Every structure is written in structure tokens, then in C-alpha cells.
Structure 1
């Protein structure tokens, strides 16, 4: 059965997603199409290695405005190519430019001096520079661990490979089914999405592998939930910390990076500054009653409304009001209506059942 197709593929593909696709099409699909991502030590270390080049350093001169010496964090996009990229560093030399992409770790011991996904990502940046009018024949991969610069020439073979991957990427992104996982790949154990992808488990269930499933241990995250139960307390944010105050005095303070979720019970105030920070960091906030559900069961009322909409039951109506009254206002709020296949036999819709004086709203 062919995969169903969708049409809302974004016009511009980020250069980093071309890298992900070259590394693993399923990783690309989970991260870009389904927007599913989680950090591990490698991704955090990679962001740290980019901390300097991610700082913008002003606009670069246009090709006809003079020679470009160097500029950091240059944003490039092209609707003709359907690509967008942020180049870590662009160096100028004799009228030509070359992109410099920072990578953590060390260069591999290969003939090209770099893995294919890294060379493809650099080539995407070169295509965008050429589209913008610059002369670009080579790029640099800078490996932060060893402080080595590896020169990558943009020959016809690499350009064809990159363009072919971009076309294939768009076809995969147009599907609503993720590609199958890699088979017994050494890439999987250190992938940050291995706990979401589940490559061995998925392949085993699909009978694509006959060897035992590798044992992958889930991480034990250091952040822990923060519970605030003191009535009248205020929970706020300041300088990367969550401060708990009572009567204008700070009674506790916790680093935000040590918190996995914030749970407040009852009459506890949460400041807008903390709300904004929690939402930015995607940290859940739970607001809970201090003593459990004291109100009537909402799930029962929700089901009653649903049954009424399908004609299974009818809600009591005031004689002088054409709207159904709130459930609490009637000693009998839900009246049974005849329905084939429903046991119990009840009265006619719109009439009170025999025990009309009995409270049938559920327990309070």
C-alpha cells in the first residue's frame, strides 16, 4: 500500500536538515516533519562548540560592494534553490569566499577528511553563496576538539550528490509515514532520538531483522519535579532560578536547570516571568487542587452532554427557558430515552422518570 501524501511541505529546507537526511532519513523525518527532538550529551556539546560563531557580527557586503574579509552567523536563503542556512563563518580571499562550519570532535580518518553528511551540509551553504552572487569553490570544516581545519572542494560530484539528496528529502517530507529505521547501524546507540525511533524494536516487529534487540538503557535525567504546596506562596523566576516567596520573604530557591516540571497546589501564585521561561524551555506546569476533586465529577457531566447530543438521554429544560439548565439546578437532570440495544428500559424523552424526586446527578 503506497504511503499517503501531504502537500504542506515548507518552501525552504534548512541546511542542517539536509545533513540529518544524509545521516538517516528517519531521523530527518522525526525531527523536521514530526518536530520531535530531545537532547543528549552530543547535541549539548555541539551547541557549546557553536557558542562563538552563533553570535552575529553585522551584515556582509554584497558581491559588488567590495571584498568580504570575514563575517559570522550569516543567514542565507533562496526560493529558487528552496534552501536556507545560517553559515557559522564566511571567509573572503582574493574575491572568492568559503564557508566555515564548526563541528565538535575530530575529523575521521577517511580520504575526504569528513563524513558525507558534513560535506553535504557545507555544499548547501556553498550553493546558497553562489546563488547570492559570490564565487565559492571550497569550504572549511573546523573540528573543535582537535582545532583542525579540513578543506572540502565543491566538485561536480559533491554538488550532484547534494542536489539529489535535496530532491529525495522533499519526497520523503511529503509523506505522512516515517521511513523505516536503519538496520543494525552503529549510528543508532548515540542518536539523541533513539528512544523515540526505537530502531531495533520497530525492525523486529516488522520482521526486518532476525537478531536479538540491542539493549539500550534509558537515561536518568538529573532534573526533578518541583512541588509547591504552601498556601499563599508565590513562585517566580530570577537569574536562572525559581524563587519561592511567602509574605515577601524568599523561603526557597532552585536552579531552573534542575527542574523537570513545576507542580503548584491550591492557592499558589505563579508569576508571568516564570510562565514565560517555562514555556520557552518547554517545562510543564501543573496547577492542582490541594485536596483532590471536591467538585462534582466533570467527566460524568461531559459524558452526559455527549449522550444527549446523540439522543441517548435528554437534559431537563426549564418551562420558561429554551436552553438546558445547568445540571446542578435540577433534582433529576438526565432523563432516559428509549434506545434499541440499551438495557434498562427508562421513560420517554422529555418526561420525568418514575423516581423523579430522586437525585440522579451522581454523587457529590
Structure 2
């Protein structure tokens, strides 16, 4: 896709959690990427890689340990007045992973959706408030009568639609969708993703779509970032990443995606990543992935790989693609890039 105006710039973002006097969990440990207006940026990785923490830190649900998140040129983690925070909270909204836990069970759907409208004073009368709620219910494929019910009366897919309507109620520019389909049946997942895509076209929305379902991420995303143990391993357009993944970790993830054609499935190479994910409390030195990487050498333990643009709009953090270390990987680079 052609580069557009930047909406968000995430610069060396870190979020660490102090566990005790001697232990710190480095959930997000220095990630850098941009999100452009009108695009969907997919963020993927194994459970525990820090992608959801990254999304919540970008939203300022967590205060950043270090780094910057610039939204429309303004750092969202600098101290703000209540008025500035209110404006920021309207422009950036979130759709949560669990559509039941994120909805107040004691409130009707009508009041859940209208909560943001009330906080930001977007309706001048009760009738205008009701009209706006009914419009949002219709937008996400629900009916007016659903507004008088409670969350427990709905299916998982319907509850997620309510969460989407709540996020849309304040006319945001940017939405963080944190694994919005992982708790849903497969038959419902496509409906929710198609709804998100339609709403993006109609309202000019920008998404950060966090997920571990790589096939769905390919379907919805313009660009994709791959996280591993708090670091960014690779970023590329969706087409480039799936056609020619560079990082050994990305290659392993993509090789695990099931293919419907049994002939292709039997003939393709499956890359198995050995071992367990190291603890983010005590991550490996150098490259975080080196303890599980089949191509790792001594240099991987000694030097943190530079996150560099290897090809146009294709970024990777791996010594295999740094000419400085060609000798260390003699005979291995061809295996990776085949």
C-alpha cells in the first residue's frame, strides 16, 4: 500500500512490571513502528510475547516505562489536563478480547453503548441519545429491541458486536482490537472481521488488530508486525510477509498455518521451533530468539540484532540479514532465504 499520513508513531516503547526487589518482567522491551491513517496494522506472536500489553500501553491503560507513543504528533504519555485526556480518550478506543468480561452485567446494552456518549456530552437530549444508540445497534447488525436487554442474554458474537458499537459511539479515529475474535466460534469470527472491515471503510477508521490467528490477520491487515518476547522481529506488508518471511521465527509461525489443500499440506516444509519461550523476567542476551533458532551462532548471544529495513517496507531484526556478520552465517543464509 502507498504510504499515507502517519496517525501513530511508536518509538522504543517499553513496559516493565516490577515483581519484587530483584525481578522485573519486561513485557514490552523497546518496540518501534508506525501506523498510517486508514490502515489496519496486524500485531501477531505467541501468547506471552507482549502484544496485548503493547496495545494497552499505546492506549495508556498502562503507563509506559520508557519510549513514546505519538498520536497525531502528540505524545500520549506526557502529563495532560483532564480536558486533554478526555479528548484523547474519545479519539482512541478499544475492543477487548473477552466480550462478556468487558461489559457491565448490571447495565442494559443501551446504557453500555451510551456511556461514552454521556461522558463526552455528545447528545443534547434523551431522544437524541436513544436515536444514536439505535443507530449504532443497527450499524453492528443488532436491532433496537436488543438495547433493553443485558449482556448475559446474548451470544459471544452478539456481545462482541455490542463492544464494537460501544467503541464507535464516540466517533474515534483509532481502535485497538485486542484479539477481538479469539473467544468466538469459527463461524462467527468471519462475520466480526467483515463487520470491522465494513466499518473501517464507512467511518475512515484506523485499526491495531492484535491476534494470534495468522490466517485471519492476513485477511484483514495491510501491514503486519511480528513480536517475540517483548521485541519486534519483523514488519512488512501483509502480502510480502506471507509470501517471503525473513525472520526464522516468522517462518516457523507461518509454516504452522493449516492449508486446506491436502496435497500442498503434505508436500510443504514444516519448521519446528524447539524448546519453550524464555521468561521475560530473564530474557536471553543478544537476540531473544537465539535459544530456539536453528541458525543461531555465537554472535547472536553477544549482539542485539538491529531492526533494519532489509527490503523496501520490509523490516527485520536478525543478524542473518546484516552484511557485517556474513562470515558467521556462512552456508546458513541460503537456507533461510530459499
Q: Which has the higher helix share?
A: 2
Q: Which has the larger radius of gyration?
A: 1
Structure number with higher relative contact order (C-alpha < 8 Å, ≥ 6 residues apart): 2
Range of TM-score over shorter length: under 0.3
Which TM-score applies when normalising by structure 1? 0.21
